Amino acid sequence: MPVRPIIRFPDALLRTPCTPVTAFDDELRALVTDLLDTMRAAPGVGITGPHIGVLKRVVVIELDRENGVRTYINPELIESSEETMQHMEGSVSMPGLTEEIVRPKSIRFRYQDIEGVVHEEVAEDFLAICIQHEIDQLDGIFWLQRLSKLKRDRLVKKWEKARHAA
């Protein structure tokens, strides 16, 4: 399947909430394959429909090849721990820039698989961070919005400078 162009910050699509997936068909399977290929080429560990301009609630995560690819359709947070952790985050839509973000250390979430079957799971540590990051994206919350104004402004300036230099 083709590697698709990635939408770059500050495109408004990155701040647009996504619609739920209702058809679990070959078109959805093709989208998931395209997302995986695009994420690996970026490279990244997570990607969503909006990153390639498809406003559907689809997430693909691959923390490493040994643990394999995880696909989450229509994911939603059910609960989050009070315990938090800090982690460096970034985005395939803003390559090369990262910043530390504090998020809940563990979550319980619900999603559907590629066949439409509903699952509920608990995720901790790095996987929990990745799932929260990608659900934010599906909700129209770009990761920069989780930063203080000072950190956000600094990163946006760096991004603009890098874009104009390219």
Name the residues annotated as catalytic. 134
AA letter at 127:
L
Task: Determine the longest span between alpha carbons in the chain, in angstroms.
Answer: 47
> The dihedral of CA 161, 151, 148, 58: what is its sign?
positive
For residue 118, how many other CB atoms are within 10 A of its CB?
A: 10
d(CA 25, CA 29): 6
